[in-house]
Structure 1
Amino acid sequence: MKKAITFLIFLIPILTIGQSNPFEKLKYDKVVAYEYQGEGGLLIERCLDEENDKINKTLNLTEKQTKNLEIILTSEKAYGNTTMSCFDPHFAVIYYLKEKVVGTINICLDCNYLIASEKIPATELKMIKISDDYSYPAKGFSKKTRKEIYEYIKGLGFTKYLRPLTSYLDE
């Protein structure tokens, strides 16, 4: 019995590998990062279709850059904070397969959240309790994750819309 329990303790983490990163299941041949003016909740998908003039800069990401962003965004410790209601994204990533969009991530550091085509399990791990009867997911980025995203975006050379992290979310 003891051997069976030990086996399960080691097997369960192996079986869940990849389940925390929903982007791993995407089939893609190119990933592009965008720096753009997303005021009014303008997501990159609509920006590309209707408002190309709001795109400031693009960059084809390497596999390593893509994986690094996925690690930041899918970590179990990436969330747990509150969000604001603005959602004016200035950074986005699109996964393409044969020039067709197969996945998206839109990030707004001002409101402390993202909108992605794939459901990220880590966004639902922590809850904000309002009362004994009501709580909701703490899907805002943690302080550490905000800094990691900020440094990641800056490392790509995207700085036009990147304001210093000085809100109460960063203290």
Structure 2
Amino acid sequence: MKNFTIYIILLIPFLTIGQTNPFEKLEYDKVIAYEYQGQGGLLIEMCLDKEKEKINKTLNLTDEQTRKLEKILTSEKAYGNTTMSCFDPHFAVIYYLNEKIVGTIDICLDCNYLISSEKIPATELKMIKISDDYSYPAKGFSKNARKEIYEYIKALGFTKYLRPLTSYLDE
């Protein structure tokens, strides 16, 4: 069993080759960014469906803006930190094809992670070790990724829910 575990650990990097950006496989014709109040774990799809009044601002993203966000979120250096237990996202991106949702990303900088419709391999590259028998993925954003995401959101003109980065994750 031990040899099998070692084999799997060595195989994982090869399984993700060419899959660093899972959003590249999506077929879409537009991408829209949303600034919204996602309290209580409200994801953007549910917000659009049942609580549109919580959306503060939207912006159609250019291809360049979309690629920039994907580059930030899929970088191997974007993760490796802890996360908080809350999930109150204030920024989301939806990929559409013929007005139908084909992909989503909801981001909460307060709790330091995202929920994505596409599995992002980089979120599973680093582990937080609790004991010799237990560890879990360090899927929280790194300090640099937090800064990049913050600046990206700010550059889009989304600032209503964007608080300064002053948590212990930013020191």
TM over 0.5: yes
Question: What is the match of residue 156 of structure 2?
Answer: 156
Q: Tell me the TM-score normalized by structure 2.
A: 0.90
Q: Deviation digits for residues 113-170 of structure 1, max 9, x if unmatched?
A: 0000000000000000000000000000000000000000000000000000000000
Amino acid at match of 2:30: K
> Higher Cα Rg: structure 1 or 2?
1
Letter aligned with residue 104 of structure 1: T
Gaps of at least 5 residues in structure 1 are 1-12
CA distance in 1, matches of 2:55, 2:164: 21
| Percent identical residues | 85
Task: Kindly indicate whether residue 107 of structure 2 is the aligned counterpart of residue 121 of structure 1.
Answer: no
Q: Any runs of at least 4 consecutive aligned residues in structure 1 with deviations exceeding 6 A, and if so which?
A: none
Distance 1:152 1:61 in 2: 12
Q: CA RMSD in A?
A: 1.4
Cα displacement (A) at 1:26: 0.1
**Equivalent-residue separation in structure 1 for 2:168 and 2:17 (angstroms):** 35
Structure-2 separation of matches of 1:49 and 1:39: 15
Secondary structure of residue in 2 paired with 1:115: strand
CA offset digits 1:11-44 (Å, max 9, x no partner): xx9x934x10000000000000000000000000
Give TM-score scaled by structure 1 length: 0.90
Give, in whole Å, the separation in 2 of the partners of 1:70 and 1:153: 13
- 1:100 maps to which residue? 100
Determine helix, strand or coil for the equivalent of 1:16. Answer: coil
Q: Distance in 2 between matches of 1:133 and 1:147?
A: 33
Secondary structure, aligned partner of 2:145: helix
Structure 2 counterparts to residues 1-171 of structure 1, below 5 A: 16-17=17-18, 19-171=19-171
Task: Output the amino acid matched with 2:74.
Answer: T
Which amino acid in 1 is paired with 2:152?
Y
